[in-house]
Amino acid sequence: MQFGQFDEFNREYVITRPDTPAPWCNYLGSVDYGAIISNNATGYSFVKSGASGRITRFRLNSRSNDQPGRYIYIRDNSDGDYWSGSWQPVCKPLDLYKSECRHGTAYTIIKSQYRDIETNTSYFVPLNKFYEVWGLRIKNSGASARTLSVFGMVEFTNHDHYENDTVNLQYSQFISKTYFKGNHILQVINENGSEAAADVDGGCDAMGDPSFRFFGVAGAEVAAFDGERDVFIGNYRNYGNPAAVEAGGCSNTPAYNGNSCGALQIDITLNPGEEKEMIFLLGAGDGEIAREIINTYDTALSNNTDLAGQQLEELKHLWHSRLENLQIDTPDDKFDNMVNVWNAYQCFITFLWSRAASFQYCGLRNGLGYRDTVQDIQGIIHLDYRLAKERLCLMLSAQISNGGGLPLVKFDHVPGKIETPDESEYARKTGQSFYRADDALWLFPTVMTYIKESGDWNFIDEVIPYADRGQTSVYNHLKQAIQFNLDRQGPHGFPAGLFADWNDCLRLGTKGESMFVAFQLYHALSIFRDFASRKGYGSDVEWADKHMERLSKAIDDFAWDGTRYVRGFTEAGYTIGSKDNEEASLWLNPQTWAVISGAAGGERAGLVLEQVYRKLNTKYGAMLFYPAFKKFGLPVARMVLFNEGTKENAGIFSQPQGWLILAETIVGNGNRAYEYFNEINPAAMNEQAEIRVLEPYVHGQATEGIDTLNHGRSHVHWLTGTASTVMVAAVNGILGLQPDYDGININPCIPAAWKYFSMTKHFRGKLLNIKVDNSAGVEKGVKHLIINGKKLVGCYAAFDGLSDKNDILVVMG
Ligand code: GLC
């Protein structure tokens, strides 16, 4: 079933059937004021944190598909019929009600058509502002005049903190009030003094600042209001049939205890063909701030200046200029849609929001997970390496001087002063008391990719503090990261798995060993060796060589199981992922990482990837391992807690699919890399949305494997490491855009059937117009490049040889 389609030109996804299998969402705003909105206008808003700065209410996992949201009701006062500007919450029959939702880059436009009344609402957060706009245009396309009431409605939280608002009702309900202030409703929390002030001297200082939220309207007179949700909605009713709308008007009731809301009624008459515009404004701020913001839009509207329209254009411009840094045109639109717009946009959203706020995460993870964040950075480096660098520096400053990463980097991280997981204080503050084995190893591919994209080799010498004490160069940070794993090894000479490696569920401890981390370490050593050799540090090159050789021998001696690499060893000496095991006998990640790290090449690389294809692949992606854990109670493998075929228990965990695509491109299998890309490409499931369920324009965290009742259903939208691994695999692997220190390699690995494609890439201020000629029909291999008319053998273009604008022909064969 299909519910919408891609509008490639406008960089939008257009939903024309609003009864999507799940709420299909988009993100608005920035980390200062963020919002998430579905195709039916459901969702929530927050200031800085989804958990502790929550301003509107939202019930995760509720029925009626996750409500409430940013609702606009329209009532025809001639007969009392009413509907909503988004299909939900009133849900008029779809043969009478037409709806279109356009999710774009940081904005969402929802249109409706019902009984000759058309609405068009643009939801967005203007650039660098801390409030949101719901710009409504309403038009009478019929032949007779209509008298209508329009109601804008938002449900506030009673407390900034999500948990307090949701479960601590004996407190939070009694600290909130609303006032009507002419063109807006003002909500005040803790009017008699803030909690922060009360805490200062132990209990009852009544001074301190209350917090305020507002919901107002510009361009229209408010006829009536309700500030109390339960009055607006009424008892034994819901958002779909609010008492006030049904009765024909609000009752001017403010909230005092109970549940604050902003409901504003505007009465209008529309002559045939007439259109009116009004702008609802929602944000956190006191009456003065609210008045100023509303006045700005009022003035603009009365001067016929389209302020909201201009702001929307600014937003589009910002986002589109980021995306412009790489644009491609291949024979596959679905591939292009992801690389040009949606996967790229998702990488930015994941980068910005980490795992904070979505329809699955409520924002309670109040910080950045180390591994997730360092990986997320990789997804945007090719589009905005400057932004990537800022976050990369932050993450280096969250590395501990022993080389390990902080499990959770708090949003208010201050390097040099942080306790480590070795200290009880850190555990008390974050709930995390153990090191992960892999955290700091993710720095290697990320630092390398950053340097090669930007050309900023000096970064290697930049001095960055450690989280706990001291400071050193990036180079030494990296050496120390390797040292962390060398200092924590098991009996076979592999890195200990500690509290977890990439698999959150594997608790291998200080003597159990992880082969995923072993391959990561091998990869880290080879990247570090490269850095050391460029710096001319011979003894470090030798040091890296020695450890790579040692590791390589141990891999051959202990981790090669004849047809596959094993996943690890428990402290008790049990081999995880051995072919003789009854359950979980073949794992995906050690095979792909053997190839990515360079530890396995030639025949072995081909062999392990073939095993994966034959034994783990499904039409919706490769499973993390197989068979699922069920009977076998391996205590360190806590994924047995998940139902078989789900997430880490033999599910199709989507992030590793990116590594699988990349590994196939390394060995030159373009057809297979593309097959794997397609299996997981959200756009490729656009016509089977009822199976995949998740938004067809974003990657999810995991898809259900073959052991479940819903093979192919995907879960956990938007905020997932899948965004970056699939992006890297597509750009670096399939498209073959591989920047190097002093130039760029263009070495595609594509399906043989792609005879021709083109790309435009901005590379360190230079424009590359690349055309790829594969009339030879190969999967990989470049005979020569023709750069601005000059022929060069191979696939490497030196930076010095490039002009500001370059025409590059890549001839494969
Ligand atoms: C989730 C976590 C990530 C972890 C993965 C597998 O995606 O965010 O850190 O690596 O699960 O456990």
Q: Is the pLDDT of residue 469 over 80?
A: yes
Tokens of 57: 């209410």
Helix (H) or strand (E) holding 535: helix 515-535
User: What pLDDT sits at residue 241?
Assistant: 97
User: What pLDDT sits at residue 199?
Assistant: 52
Among residues 781, 780, 800, which one has the least CA distance to residue 790? 800
Ligand 1 centroid–CA 696 distance in Å is 22
Measured from the CB, is residue 365 less than 6 Å from ligand 1? no
Query: In this structure, how many other beta carbons lie within 10 angstroms of the beta carbon of residue 755?
Result: 14
Query: In this structure, how many other beta carbons lie within 10 angstroms of the beta carbon of residue 294?
Result: 23
User: What pLDDT sits at residue 73?
Assistant: 98
Pocket test for ligand 1, best of 499, 655, 724 (most atoms within 8 A of CB): 655
Ligand 1 centroid–CA 617 distance in Å is 20
User: What pLDDT sits at residue 411?
Assistant: 83
d(CA 444, CA 523): 8
- DSSP letter at 286 equals -
Measured from the CB, is residue 701 less than 6 Å from ligand 1? yes
Measured from the CB, is residue 725 less than 6 Å from ligand 1? no
Amino acid at 567: R
The number of the ligand 1 atom at minimal distance from the alpha carbon of 504 is 12
Quote the Cα angle for 413-415-419, to 5°. 85
User: What pLDDT sits at residue 365?
Assistant: 76
The number of the ligand 1 atom at minimal distance from the alpha carbon of 355 is 8
Cis bond before residue 272 (omega within 30° of 0)? no
**Least confident window among 139-153, 253-267, 350-364, 711-725:** 350-364
Category of 90 on φ-ψ map: left (φ > 0), alpha (ψ -120 to 50) or beta: alpha
d(CA 165, CA 172): 6
Are 622 and 657 a contacting pair, CB within 8 Å? yes
Q: What DSSP string runs through 105-162?
A: TTEEEEEEEETTEEEEEEEE--TT-SEEEEEEEEEE-SSS-EEEEEEEEEEBPSSSSH
The number of the ligand 1 atom at minimal distance from the alpha carbon of 500 is 12
User: What pLDDT sits at residue 605?
Assistant: 97
Measured from the CB, is residue 350 less than 6 Å from ligand 1? no
Ligand 1 centroid–CA 782 distance in Å is 36
The number of the ligand 1 atom at minimal distance from the alpha carbon of 720 is 7
d(CA 659, CA 206): 56
User: What pLDDT sits at residue 366?
Assistant: 73
User: What pLDDT sits at residue 307?
Assistant: 98
Measured from the CB, is residue 373 less than 6 Å from ligand 1? no
The number of the ligand 1 atom at minimal distance from the alpha carbon of 371 is 9
Measured from the CB, is residue 717 less than 6 Å from ligand 1? no
**pLDDT over 70, % of the chain:** 98
| 632-644 tens-digit pLDDT | 768 889 999 999 9
d(CA 573, CA 590): 18
Whole-model pTM above 0.85? yes
Pocket test for ligand 1, best of 372, 442, 718, 724 (most atoms within 8 A of CB): 372
Tokens of 378: 């990789």
**What is the per-residue burial (b if ≥16 Cβ within 10 Å, else e) of 180-201?**
bbebbbbbbbbeebbbebbeee
| 432-460 tens-digit pLDDT | 778 999 999 999 999 999 999 999 999 99
User: For the chain, what's the residue count?
Assistant: 813
Measured from the CB, is residue 372 less than 6 Å from ligand 1? yes
Tokens of 83: 């509907």
**Beta-carbon contacts of residue 548 (< 8 Å; ≥ 6 apart):** 522, 525, 526, 529
Sign of the alpha-carbon dihedral angle for 680, 686, 691, 692: positive
Query: In this structure, how many other beta carbons lie within 10 angstroms of the beta carbon of residue 100?
Result: 17
d(CA 793, CA 781): 12
782 SS3 class: strand
Measured from the CB, is residue 384 less than 6 Å from ligand 1? no
**Alpha-carbon distances, residue 20 vs 57, 60, 100 (angstroms):** 22, 17, 12
Ligand 1 centroid–CA 503 distance in Å is 6
- Atom 6, ligand 1: residue with shortest CA distance: 503
Q: What is the CA radius of gyration of the chain?
A: 28
User: What pLDDT sits at residue 207?
Assistant: 56
β pairing state of 805-812 and 790-793? unpaired
211 bridge partner residues: 189
Among residues 701, 714, 59, which one has the least CA distance to residue 355? 701
Measured from the CB, is residue 371 less than 6 Å from ligand 1? yes
β pairing state of 766-773 and 805-812? parallel
Measured from the CB, is residue 225 less than 6 Å from ligand 1? no
Ligand 1 centroid–CA 701 distance in Å is 8
Mean pLDDT to the nearest integer, 625-632: 92
Number of continuous H segments (helices) and E segments (strands) in the chain: 22, 42
d(CA 525, CA 71): 55
Measured from the CB, is residue 369 less than 6 Å from ligand 1? yes
Measured from the CB, is residue 664 less than 6 Å from ligand 1? no
What burial class does residue 805 get, using C-beta atoms within 10 Å of its C-beta: 0-12 exposed, 13-18 middle, 19+ buried? exposed
785 bridge partner residues: 792, 810
The number of the ligand 1 atom at minimal distance from the alpha carbon of 701 is 7
Are 658 and 592 a contacting pair, CB within 8 Å? no
Measured from the CB, is residue 213 less than 6 Å from ligand 1? no
Sheet holding 33-38, edge to edge: 25-29, 33-38, 43-47
Ligand 1 centroid–CA 256 distance in Å is 43
The number of the ligand 1 atom at minimal distance from the alpha carbon of 716 is 7
Are 575 and 549 a contacting pair, CB within 8 Å? no
Q: How far from the centroid of its chain's Cα atoms is residue 792's Cα?
A: 40
- The catalytic site residues sit at 504
Sign of the alpha-carbon dihedral angle for 85, 88, 91, 95: positive
Domains of the chain with CATH codes: 4-320 (2.70.98.40), 737-812 (2.60.420.10)
The number of the ligand 1 atom at minimal distance from the alpha carbon of 655 is 7
Pocket test for ligand 1, best of 504, 639, 703 (most atoms within 8 A of CB): 504
Measured from the CB, is residue 503 less than 6 Å from ligand 1? yes
The number of the ligand 1 atom at minimal distance from the alpha carbon of 503 is 12
Rounded to 10°, the helix 588-596/654-667 angle is 40
Query: In this structure, how many other beta carbons lie within 10 angstroms of the beta carbon of residue 602?
Result: 8
Measured from the CB, is residue 724 less than 6 Å from ligand 1? no
User: What pLDDT sits at residue 432?
Assistant: 76
End-to-end CA distance of the chain: give it in Å, rounded: 40
d(CA 805, CA 766): 6
Ligand 1 centroid–CA 320 distance in Å is 30
- Atom 9, ligand 1: residue with shortest CA distance: 372
Q: Is the pLDDT of residue 205 over 80?
A: no
Measured from the CB, is residue 88 less than 6 Å from ligand 1? no
Alpha helix stretches (DSSP H) within 555-669: 588-596, 602-615, 654-667
| 681-710 tens-digit pLDDT | 999 999 999 999 999 999 999 999 999 999
Q: Is the pLDDT of residue 200 over 50?
A: no
**Beta-carbon contacts of residue 294 (< 8 Å; ≥ 6 apart):** 183, 184, 216, 217, 218, 281
Mean pLDDT to the nearest integer, 779-788: 98
Ligand 1 centroid–CA 502 distance in Å is 6
d(CA 512, CA 285): 53
- DSSP letter at 701 equals E
d(CA 470, CA 381): 28
Ligand 1 centroid–CA 505 distance in Å is 9
Measured from the CB, is residue 651 less than 6 Å from ligand 1? no
- Atom 10, ligand 1: residue with shortest CA distance: 502
- Atom 8, ligand 1: residue with shortest CA distance: 372
User: What pLDDT sits at residue 217?
Assistant: 98
| 401-426 tens-digit pLDDT | 999 999 989 888 999 988 888 888 87
Ligand 1 centroid–CA 647 distance in Å is 10
496 bridge partner residues: 513
| 222-242 tens-digit pLDDT | 999 999 999 999 999 999 999
746 SS3 class: strand
Ligand 1 centroid–CA 699 distance in Å is 14
| 492-537 tens-digit pLDDT | 999 999 999 999 999 999 999 999 999 999 999 999 999 999 999 9
Mean pLDDT to the nearest integer, 609-616: 98
Task: Map 45-99 to HEC letters.
Answer: EEECCCCCCECECCCCCCCCCCCCECEEEEEECCCCCEEECCCCCCCCCCCCCEE
Mean pLDDT over the full length of the chain: 95
Measured from the CB, is residue 699 less than 6 Å from ligand 1? no
Measured from the CB, is residue 504 less than 6 Å from ligand 1? yes
- DSSP letter at 339 equals I
Amino acid at 57: R
Ligand 1 centroid–CA 519 distance in Å is 18
Q: Is the pLDDT of residue 145 over 60?
A: yes
Are 550 and 494 a contacting pair, CB within 8 Å? no
The number of the ligand 1 atom at minimal distance from the alpha carbon of 653 is 6
Ligand 1 centroid–CA 264 distance in Å is 43
Cα dihedral 351→356→361→365 (10° resolution): 130
Mean pLDDT to the nearest integer, 167-177: 94
User: What pLDDT sits at residue 208?
Assistant: 63
**What is the per-residue burial (b if ≥16 Cβ within 10 Å, else e) of 258-283?**
bbbbbbbbbbbebeeeeebbbbbbbb
The number of the ligand 1 atom at minimal distance from the alpha carbon of 502 is 10
d(CA 133, CA 216): 10
- Atom 11, ligand 1: residue with shortest CA distance: 504
**What is the per-residue burial (b if ≥16 Cβ within 10 Å, else e) of 332-345?**
bebbbbbbbbbbbb
| 754-764 tens-digit pLDDT | 999 999 999 99
Please state the φ and ψ torsions of residue 740, each to the nearest 5 degrees. -130, 175
Query: In this structure, how many other beta carbons lie within 10 angstroms of the beta carbon of residue 579?
Result: 13
Ligand 1 centroid–CA 504 distance in Å is 6
Measured from the CB, is residue 721 less than 6 Å from ligand 1? yes
Are 17 and 686 a contacting pair, CB within 8 Å? no
